[in-house]
Structure 1
Amino acid sequence: MKLLFIALIASLSATSCQDKYPDLQDGLYAEIVTTKGTMVAQLFYDKVPVTVANFVGLAEGTHPQLPDSLKGKPFYNGITFHRVMDKFMIQGGDPTGTGRGSAGYRFHSEFDKDLRHNKPGILSMANSGGLATNGTQFFITEVPYPSLDAFDANGNVKACDQPRVSCHGVFGELVKGIEVQDSISNVKVGTGNKPLEDVIINQVNIIRKGADAKAFDAVKVFTIEEPLLSEKFEALKTEAESRVKEEAKKAAEVFKTENKDLEGELIESPTGLVMILNKAKNGKTPKNTEKVLIHSTGYFVNGDLFYTTQVDVAKKFNQYNENAEKNGAYKPFAMIYNESATLVPGFREAMLKMNVGDKARIFVPSYLGYGPSGRRPRIPPNTNLVFDLELVGIE
């Protein structure tokens, strides 16, 4: 009887909300009533159904992972926005108000390439890093914040399973009350960006408009589809990796065309490395126990310089740094001449094809370079690179 009463009250509340917003198109929505005003977010249940099911199940107290003590209770009601950052976002969903609380469970991230942190009012999952640390906490953006996306600018999946790589799952967008988000983001805060005066979520009411939204069963969706999210992410990665390799093949063809007049032997490796090798006469082959001295200059495929060990090249590109020269930046570096060399795979492969005195220009596809992680701050994820190499001696 108690559960029936709760369900009846929830039904009446949803009906009331639905009548309150006659202009909303068919879809699934969350009315977030706070002490600063009311926001309404459209929930993208057709694109990220598990993440939406998680939010809906919590809001309605029906989530299958809730402990018995919380079942039948609207989880978000009475919880605060515990972290507020102007020109960034507002974050809530932690019953402890510390940023460390949850309902005692975690689930895998869910992403859709069309959903980005590209505008104010984006509703997204907060997590503690990695792919399986989502729970009850969410945030709403105040400004576009693409670094939170799971995809880079080219639509490729970032290395979300790596440390310090930020990937958050978008699952909704404010359609009403963006000014309320702004007012919350402007409250005075103290330590940890916690509001000095609590901003409370009084209620989260789920609104269903249209047959599809009314048929959305949050409990069923979460129970059946959540265990498949890891497999779904791997499929996204596989698709992205295929696209990266196809793009690298095209870039390699451009590299060959642009350097067709460069003196040397063209070597196309099965790995994807392309190399124009200018061999020295009687060049000594180093032993695998020796360290070679390497001059190296790195370019983006558009010709922009990002690194060099040669002072004249640095000056030519207006990147010369006197302090760098004093610290020994403009001289050959030493590297062991074997597979243990601490170099990106494409660079290492090229080095091991060279003798002392050889020079080479190489095309390194992104997956043989810095991959989906890139290398901060200069090299973005999934970036193809070009290097000029010269083995100048043995240490």
Structure 2
Amino acid sequence: MLGLYEGIRGRIGTVKSRRGLVILAGVMLSLAVAGCGTSNKTSSQRWSSPPKMQINKSKQYDAVVKTNYGSFTIQLFAKQSPITVNNFVFLSQHHFYKNDKFFRVIQPFMIQTGDPNNNGTGGPGYQFKDELPPKQPYQPGIVAMANSGPNTNGSQFFICTGIQSETLNSDPKYTQFGKVTQGMSVVQKIAAVPVKMNPQTHEQSMPTKDVYIESVKIQVH
């Protein structure tokens, strides 16, 4: 099975609109395109610039993510990645992630969500810079931003679920902003959802069942 994932390292991306080309570590076609359903949202919120800093880096922030498969908690890295955590808190407080699907699932690697279009092409309307290098290795439970190149973070993120995520450590270019501290069994349940081939990428990563975020609640300690 390793052959299926050879070269997958460094290819967790977002897909640009038709006005731009996909930029993903030299690959010709993004492996991020998946789950080509339309958004469940009645409207898509968009902003022209990243949110102003509102978090207090000295405090602890947790995100309780409720899905139709159960809930899990992410401890957010406010000190390590304040810009990214501030962005995630802002989007969560504006219910941006409600009904977003886990549109890309590769069980021994990661699960990806955070796109209002549910297919890898969407975002909040702005981009912001990376916060690198990470202070801990990519491993199961780590939460990081997907991107389409340097400093192109928006709203899409992924959760590492298996040993293949450790291949990212040789070229760490995805901003880490949290880790799952409770409910990892729910994350693994999502990772175990049956998948089919994505007709656009020919990648076996498109879930055959809808798994989506119902809410994200931010807790401050």
TM bucket (normalised to shorter chain) is 0.5 to 0.7
**Cα deviation, residue 44, structure 1:** 0.6
- Partners of 1:171 and 1:127 lie apart in 2 by 14
Determine if the alignment matches structure 1 residue 46 to structure 2 residue 46.
Answer: no
Provide runs of 4+ in structure 1 moved above 4 Å: none
**Cα deviation, residue 112, structure 1:** 4.2
Whichever residue aligns with residue 208 of structure 1, its letter is: V
Cα deviation code 1:92-129 (max 9, x no counterpart): 00011111111121111112442320x3111111112x
Secondary structure at 2:167 match in 1: helix
Unaligned segments of structure 2, at least 5 residues: 1-58, 199-204
The aligned counterpart of 1:366 is none
Cα deviation code 1:131-160 (max 9, x no counterpart): 1211100000112423324xx4xxxxx5xx
- Partners of 1:113 and 1:91 lie apart in 2 by 19
Aligned length, in residue pairs: 156
- Partners of 1:35 and 1:133 lie apart in 2 by 29
Paired residues of 1:29 and 1:207 also in contact (CA < 8 A): yes
Determine if the alignment matches structure 1 residue 203 to structure 2 residue 209.
Answer: no
- Partners of 1:97 and 1:188 lie apart in 2 by 17
- Partners of 2:213 and 2:176 lie apart in 1 by 20
- Select the structure that is richer in helix: 1
Whichever residue aligns with residue 153 of structure 2, its letter is: N
Cα deviation code 1:195-227 (max 9, x no counterpart): 111101000110111xxxxxxxxxxxxxxxxxx
Paired residues of 1:80 and 1:97 also in contact (CA < 8 A): yes
The aligned counterpart of 1:137 is 156
The aligned counterpart of 2:166 is 146
- Partners of 1:201 and 1:42 lie apart in 2 by 17
User: Structure 1 residues 104, 176: closer, same or farther in 2, change over 3 A?
Assistant: same
Determine if the alignment matches structure 1 residue 173 to structure 2 residue 193.
Answer: no
User: Structure 1 residues 113, 124: closer, same or farther in 2, change over 3 A?
Assistant: closer
By relative contact order (CA 8 Å, sep 6+), the higher-ranking structure is 2
- Partners of 2:83 and 2:181 lie apart in 1 by 21
Cα deviation code 1:295-349 (max 9, x no counterpart): xxxxxxxxxxxxxxxxxxxxxxxxxxxxxxxxxxxxxxxxxxxxxxxxxxxxxxx
Paired residues of 2:133 and 2:173 also in contact (CA < 8 A): no
Paired residues of 1:116 and 1:170 also in contact (CA < 8 A): no
Q: Please, which of 45, 62, 79 is the counterpart of residue 100 of structure 2?
A: 79
For residues 373-388 of structure 1, what are the structure 2 equivalents within 5 Å? none
Whichever residue aligns with residue 197 of structure 1, its letter is: K
Paired residues of 1:94 and 1:102 also in contact (CA < 8 A): yes
User: Structure 1 residues 78, 113: closer, same or farther in 2, change over 3 A?
Assistant: closer
Secondary structure at 2:214 match in 1: strand
Determine if the alignment matches structure 1 residue 126 to structure 2 residue 138.
Answer: no
RMSD of aligned alpha carbons: 1.5
The aligned counterpart of 1:29 is 62
Paired residues of 1:47 and 1:112 also in contact (CA < 8 A): no
- Partners of 1:99 and 1:172 lie apart in 2 by 21
**Cα deviation, residue 78, structure 1:** 1.1
Q: Please, which of 183, 190, 193 is the counterpart of residue 196 of structure 2?
A: 190
Secondary structure at 1:190 match in 2: strand
Paired residues of 1:48 and 1:112 also in contact (CA < 8 A): no
Determine if the alignment matches structure 1 residue 106 to structure 2 residue 119.
Answer: no
Paired residues of 1:90 and 1:185 also in contact (CA < 8 A): yes
- Partners of 2:217 and 2:105 lie apart in 1 by 22
Aligned-pair identity in percent equals: 38
Secondary structure at 1:194 match in 2: strand
Whichever residue aligns with residue 136 of structure 1, its letter is: S
